[in-house]
Chain A
């Protein structure tokens, strides 16, 4: 894991140094650009944090036009995202930043936006086919997510390994599916030979269903020792279920979660380790990227690099986790445990 991290870091640095010298772009602050930040839906913490980050960047770049934070309701996420993208196109905004929840279904709307000269930047979750998208701001490397999850499983279960199951969000969430696939891929490595994946179930990002699914896993697989939930809703529901059934000693919970929501479970040992990235930084970097592209300071092509305010320099590369498309890699993961979760939860 460390080796892998180092290698990617070195690679990223090498690339950025190469291009950084001649082609490093800096967006000129102060341009009035109408920009839309479009989360999967409104009302949950991670997207709100991304909004904060984007606002911070907007302030730094002195964009006099206020940032629009528009999102659909959760039950209408797909149709709502398409509708908002289409309306933003009609209004002729300068940039749309999408955390895509609609898979390739958003392609026609995103293409229409591009045709009108609008910068389309995805973040958090990309357009799988990359059609209609300028660049994807990736929070972490999606194949690395699999490795991080496998590492956490190994660290919790110990050298002897053990059996575990995945509690995912919905079967339609493209990033979840990519992470699960990456984890299965990582498990093929010799290091993880003693980890056995029993099952993948879905809680559809609803507390009740995730809670019940977690308990059902316990009943179905009496020798299961870990539930891996790469979703912030699933991981807390699973941890609470194990706590309510006094199972925390035998079945641990891990995955991707928000520190403030996980604090209690990490401290009492139900979920000793979990990971996440900073959504504030992700929002910040996304806004910087979209602003630079919309002003023309940055071209969305392989090898182009630019300075993203306080976060430093980034370079656009091919996205190795998709068949096509470009990405900017933010990274790295923060892995939380007893020692650092309290500080992060504030």
Chain B
């Protein structure tokens, strides 16, 4: 099977899964199709799926960023800390975004210029950035943000659609264009496919990696700030542990952890699959570890079943795998 065929079948599989899940949800819960529920379905995980978009690029490029959740927390805490010191809210937001950018570039520096594995660097970042967030807010939550800030996170903007959802949609388009029809996007794939070859052919590997890590930090910070607006108050443990959910979404989207393959359509479908599944289970009162177990099983089966099918069909055709 060609790489293209494999990818197509992957998205086909996700689409089929999505159809099944949606059908079951409609059958099962009268509340599922309500406009409010569909908005909630996105809104409840909006920060994770925003970060999943940029994580897709990072992983296709052959790296990983485990620090995103801590950067989300850091940005929210920087914002809250600045706000508490009397900084006007718009400036505090800029401060939060800059903190994210700085954290991302700091990761990028060690990966691109010093040559450390991104897993190690961002694992240190996961601990360290959370630590800085903790220093800023210590043990007291910060809230009472200006009303408009909370409204941004909680109120609909166009019809029932919230600001965060609009931002997600815009980012999806921007990142899709960047990845699939820009020079940078091509470089992301080339480097992810074969770093050595990319280097020998004169590609500015370091610049690309710095760009991606910087973008990852900034977008994580944006997501963290939206999270703060949605919840209306900030604590040191904000978004802790989100990284595994984010990476799960990207991997289910068919992106190879070794880099070089995957696309944004797959990740988009994966987002829809996971969000609808979670929502359906939530409405059916399936929560906690049972819910995560089902998603875990889905993750394994979605790769296992096509593999098995292929093996069987190859045997049928009398070929060796």
Contact = CB atoms under 8 A, between A and B. Distances in A.
Query: Is A in direct contact with B (CB under 8 Å) within the complex?
Result: yes
Interface string A45-77: 000000000000000000000001011110110
A42 to B, nearest CB: 4
Contact of B285 (A68, A83, A107): A68
Max count, chain B CB within 10 A of own CB: residue among A41, A70, A76, A87: A87
B283 A170 contact: no
Interface string B16-39: 000000000000010100101100
Interface bracket on B: 35 or more
Nearest to B228: A105
Interface stretch (B86-94, B101-109, B135-143): B135-143
B288 to A, nearest CB: 4
Given A90-B34, A91-B31, A107-B232, A128 B141 contact: yes
Given A76-B241, A82-B44, A90-B40, A177 B31 contact: no
A86 interface: yes
Interface of A is mostly: helix
Given A70-B288, A91-B283, A104 B141 contact: yes
B287 interface: yes
A171 B138 contact: yes
Given A105-B232, A172-B139, A78 B288 contact: no
Contacts of A104: 141, 143, 231-233
Given A84-B282, A91-B31, A108 B232 contact: yes
B288 A80 contact: yes
Interface in B230-270: 230-233, 235-238, 240-242, 245
B111 to A, nearest CB: 26
B31 A71 contact: no
Contacts of B238: 78
A83 B140 CA distance: 23
B289 interface: yes
A320 interface: no
Contacts of B31: 90-92
B311 interface: no
B141 A172 contact: yes
Contacts of A70: 285, 287-288
B178 interface: no
Contacts of B153: 108
A260 interface: no
Contacts of B211: none
A109 B251 CA distance: 30
A103 interface: yes
Contacts of B37: 90
22 contacts: A43-B288, A43-B289, A68-B285, A70-B288, A72-B287, A75-B240, A78-B237, A80-B288, A83-B44, A83-B282, A87-B282, A90-B31, A90-B34, A90-B37, A92-B31, A102-B231, A107-B233, A108-B154, A128-B141, A171-B138, A172-B141, A172-B237
B307 interface: no
Contacts of B141: 103-105, 128, 172, 174
A208 B23 CA distance: 45
A80 B287 contact: yes
B294 to A, nearest CB: 12
Nearest to A176: B139
Contacts of B289: 42-43, 73
A129 interface: yes
Nearest to B245: A76
B288 A171 contact: no
A78 B233 CA distance: 12
Contacts of B138: 171
B288 A71 contact: yes
